[in-house]
Chains A and B, each alone.
Chain A
Amino acid sequence: MSKENNGIENLDITTPPGGHVVVDKSGKLEFTITVYTENQVGLLSRIAIMFSRRKINVESLNTSPSEIENIHRFTIVINEYEDVVRKLCRQIEKQVEVLKVYYNTNDELVWQEVALYKVPTGIIADIVKVERLLRQFGARVIAITKDYTIFETTGHREETDRLIKVFGQFGLIEFVRSARVAIIKDSSGFHEKLRQFEAREPGEDVIENEYLNQQDHIFTM
């Protein structure tokens, strides 16, 4: 039950879906909001403000081009009550440069996060049974120097968290995790619409400030 934010039919959604739904202590669910937008300078700020105005903490935010040229896709994770999320999505969809907004619970998505772990090469080489570790966590080595080794793993948060504990014992130097990227299981319809849309009305190119590096060449008052 993927929920669009532009249909009357969504007005009656009352039952939160079951499955792998994350519920926090206050009873809020983890929702992933997917926003399709024009590719425009300033839109990130306009969307971020929608959350901060309501004092909603964004757990993770990813913005990237979508499969269609000139259309960008925001993936935003928050913990909230469904009613709040629905209203929030309507407000986001109201923005002039926003094409479409969906919100979903975790069971309605396929999602991943990338984590990188920097650990001392010496310890890893001497103590850790690297091969076993890598198999167990589906991790990959992506850089090795004499000082450190960087491992990468991809998965849900609880999966990437587990590896922190392991590496924590062996002098984890640095850890970083990406924002969530997610594909809605049930959104093939919109992909088609997007394609037709872009073919019919190609998007405009982004106009950035081309004068920023010309300071020395321009006389000003």
Chain B
Amino acid sequence: METLEIKEKEKATASIQNISGSQAVLEALVAENVDTIFGYPGGAIMPIYDSLYDYADKLKHILVRHEQGGIHAGQGYARSSGKVGVVFATSGPGATNLVTGLADAMIDSTPLVCITGQVFAHLLGTDAFQEVDVINITTPVTKWNYQVTDATEIPGVLAKAFYIAATGRPGPVLIDITKNAQLQKFDYEGYKKCDHIRSYRPKPIVRKKYVEEAAKLINEAKRPFVIFGQGIILGKAEKEFKAFIEKGGLPAAWTILGLSALETDHPLNVGMLGMHGNYGPNVLTNECDVLIAVGMRFDDRVTGRLDKYAKQAKVIHLDIDPAEIDKNVKATVPVWGDCKETLPMLTKLIEKKNHKDWISKFHEHIRKEAEVVIKDELNPTGEVLTMGEVIKVLNELTDGNAIIVTDVGQHQMVTCRYAKFNQSKSNITSGGAGTMGFALPAAIGAKYGAPERTVVAIIGDGGFQMTLQELGTIMQFDVDVKIIILNNQFLGMVRQWQQLFHEKRYSFVDITSPDYIQLAKAYKIEGRSICKREHLKNALNTMLTHKGSYLLEVMVGKENNVFPMVPQGRGVAEIILSKEEL
């Protein structure tokens, strides 16, 4: 009774302020513990930027050089911090420049709240200046989106936005706010975080029966094999996952977004899955008797030809998203739910085993791959530098503790194959969408998400030229990002395919680069270009110990290829170690 009275009193004395919609936006961000916003102002979001002037002590705003840079920075921030990334853009072209990043965040399950300005509500549909139907454009690439035309909606809608972006299978949310709603004054009664939406069930109910069935299958298995994805990182279930595989003695391989969920050197970590993954995990996918997929979505880059994928295996699929179950690979036992909950349930029921003979089969394949591929990639005898040896030296110098952000292409595959990680949320890359230009802005965001950590962006000469204007952001905000350009003077991955599948018809993959060091200098960033092995370690060391950002260009072999490789249209067990096997 007493408590009730106190609550009533509090309610009665709660001050109702008359504030603008744009102030309400910023109040919401403060209440959601947002510390950094990436954005670019413009006419239709000007009221929000005007209010932001008064919130400078609470909200840091990073002015990017292009809205695409803003959203990739938001993604990098979200991936390194585990929090929701926040992005501002104006209407029309500002908003449409977010679309690539939204698609990327959608497929890689990255939590984002993007706030776009929109023309006045009475102008909607009139082809007004910088009016674009951003809601309909972004519908397929957002988890949820909403257009606000009245300021009173703002607190409730933003609370929903943060809740939807961060819960269940995370994803990007876009809130489009008309200019009149930003300017409109209304009686603000405070911000209430959202913890429930009636038509939204972020987590499916875990069904004990299926956990028991899964445990039974694992206990009976002679050749169990775990494949894990980003679900473990998103679910903050790294400890639970490790306990699970260690008790069951289960060999585990990762998708590129799952990379860093388990330490690279863990004895049960058997490597990378998929098109450029390790030989053993790919071949043995078709030899295991129970395949346990945890928080991963059977992407076609992982499965190769579906009709040749793990046909012999009983499949246990743990996923928070019911729509992923049976989408590509039919599950024998589906375990719906958050793996933070389901993994301990499963661990409790499985028997302690070591599967020594079975795990040794992975090691046999690792030896074979080391002989044919890895040895030459990491310890080349030729004059020309390889991408792999750059990563190897980087591993030695960072001791596996850096956050590594990669762009898309050969360097991405090489980095994901050879980089070593000791802690989670260390590998940031564009997995599902394969967005070139991702890495430079994402690295900026990653540094703001984890300021205490070293952030190294590894980028190809092609991808770097797509968003290199973000060097300006690095310059202005003094962001400490180490940038390595692995320059092979080609759009390397396309060239590799042209070499292997198009009779070496190198159609428009020969790309000329500017003088990156001069370019960096123009942005007041120190840099160096190397092409000799004897300079590699020293150059990387200089880069890592340099105070502030640094750009290192490494000239690598022009026609080096990434192997192993599952050629398109083939099964995972048909992975090849060299072009001679094609």
Contacts and interface: CB of A to CB of B under 8 A. Distances in A.
Give the contact-size bracket for chain B: 35 or more
Pick the most buried of A90, A201, A213, A215: most chain B CB atoms within 10 A of its CB. A90
B144 A96 contact: yes
Interface residues of A, number: 35
Contacts of A211: 120-122, 149, 178, 180
Contacts of B139: 42, 45-46, 49
Contacts of B121: 209-212
Most B CB atoms within 10 A — which of A11, A37, A86, A211?
Answer: A211
A53 interface: yes
Interface string A66-99: 0000000000000000000011001101101111
A209 B336 CA distance: 39
A98 B147 CA distance: 18
Contacts of B198: 38, 99, 197, 201, 203
Contact of B322 (A90, A212, A218): A90
A128 B322 CA distance: 57
Given A90-B322, A97-B199, A215 B122 contact: yes
Nearest to A89: B323
A26 interface: no
A212 B122 contact: yes
24 contacts: A8-B207, A8-B210, A8-B336, A11-B326, A11-B334, A42-B135, A42-B136, A42-B139, A49-B140, A53-B140, A91-B323, A94-B323, A96-B143, A96-B144, A97-B199, A97-B200, A203-B198, A209-B121, A210-B149, A211-B120, A211-B149, A211-B180, A212-B124, A218-B122
A41 B323 CA distance: 24
A87 B323 contact: yes
Interface in B145-170: 145-147, 149-150, 153, 164
Contacts of A97: 144, 199-200
The B contact surface, by secondary structure, is mixed
B517 interface: no
Nearest to B144: A96
A96 B120 contact: no
Given A49-B140, A210-B149, A6 B322 contact: yes
B546 interface: no
A96 B200 contact: yes
Contacts of A221: 43
Which of B43, B149, B153 has the most C-beta atoms of chain A within 10 angstroms of its own C-beta? B149
B322 A99 contact: no
Given A42-B135, A210-B149, A218-B180, 18 more contacts: A11-B326, A38-B198, A49-B140, A87-B323, A87-B326, A90-B322, A91-B323, A94-B321, A96-B197, A97-B144, A209-B149, A210-B121, A211-B120, A212-B121, A212-B122, A212-B125, A215-B123, A220-B122
A211 B149 CA distance: 8
A56 to B, nearest CB: 14
B150 A99 contact: no
Nearest to B146: A42
B354 to A, nearest CB: 32
Contact of A209 (B124, B197, B210, B326): B124
Contacts of A42: 135-136, 139, 145-147
Contact of B136 (A8, A45, A90): A45
A213 B164 CA distance: 33
Interface in B321-371: 321-323, 325-327, 331, 334, 336
Given A11-B331, A49-B140, A220-B123, A207 B149 contact: yes
A136 interface: no
A35 B323 CA distance: 16
A90 B323 contact: yes
Contacts of A209: 121, 124, 149
A15 interface: no
Nearest to A98: B199
A51 to B, nearest CB: 12
A169 interface: no
Contacts of A86: 326
Contacts of B321: 94
- With most chain B CB atoms within 10 A of its CB, the pick from A37, A46, A86, A93 is A46
Contacts of A53: 140
A53 B143 CA distance: 16
A120 to B, nearest CB: 40
A221 B120 CA distance: 10
Contact of A218 (B120, B135, B146, B197): B120
A214 interface: yes
B140 A220 contact: no
A6 B144 CA distance: 20
Interface in B505-545: none
A211 B180 CA distance: 9
Contacts of B125: 212
Nearest to A198: B198
Closest 7 CB pairs of A and B: A211-B121, A90-B323, A211-B122, A201-B198, A96-B144, A96-B200, A99-B199
Contacts of B122: 211-215, 218, 220
Given A38-B199, A49-B140, A211-B180, A220 B164 contact: no
Nearest to A201: B198
